[in-house]
Amino acid sequence: MKRHVLSAIVASVFATGLVAAQGTQQPPQTQKAPEATITGCVIQGSSPTVFILESARLNPQDQNEKVKTYVLVSGTEDLKFVAHLNHEVRVTGVAESKTPPVPAAGQKVAEKDLPKLTAQSVTMVADRCTTS
């Protein structure tokens, strides 16, 4: 009988130790994406408050660089994307590395599927879109 009681106590202590160890595990660290400067053309999205940066490149002189499209998100309150509609701009901020799905022929990728570019600053490069 003493053996069964002793076994139950040892098992209980062991189980308590396992539960306590699991509770102290740290969550995985997420790395913050580095800030980047991206040049592209600001166009109107699906509503008056949605803006898209299309023909976006890290290096606008590199015509071999694949262009991307981002949904612009203001990282500060004073960015006014509407003032840059149909302008070529340089946006500094953090871009998601999300890869949008390939649209059907003749279709565009839905805004909800585009990566976001959280802008910290916007500088006009040209008063019209010259990127291709």
pLDDT, tens only, 86-112? 999 999 999 998 888 887 888 888 899
For residue 24, tell me if it sits in a domain.
no
For residue 111, what are the domain limits? 35-126
Nearest-angstrom CA–CA distance, 86 and 35: 24
Residue-level pLDDT at 72: 96
Render pLDDT for 30-82 as a digit per residue (tens, 0 to 9).
556 789 999 999 999 999 999 999 999 999 889 899 999 999 999 888 788 99
For residue 13, tell me if it sits in a domain.
no
Nearest-angstrom CA–CA distance, 108 and 52: 12
Q: pTM of this prediction?
A: 0.72
In the structure, what pLDDT confidence band is assigned to residue 13 with cuts at 50, 70 and 90? very low
Domain count of the fold of the chain: 1
For residue 67, tell me if it sits in a domain.
yes
Q: Provide the residue type at 83 as one letter.
A: A
Helices (H), the chain: 2-23
For residue 98, tell me if it sits in a domain.
yes
For residue 16, tell me if it sits in a domain.
no
Neighbours of 57 (CB within 10 A): 17
Residue-level pLDDT at 19: 45
Q: Quick one: tokens of 18?
A: 């396992």
First to last CA, the chain: 84
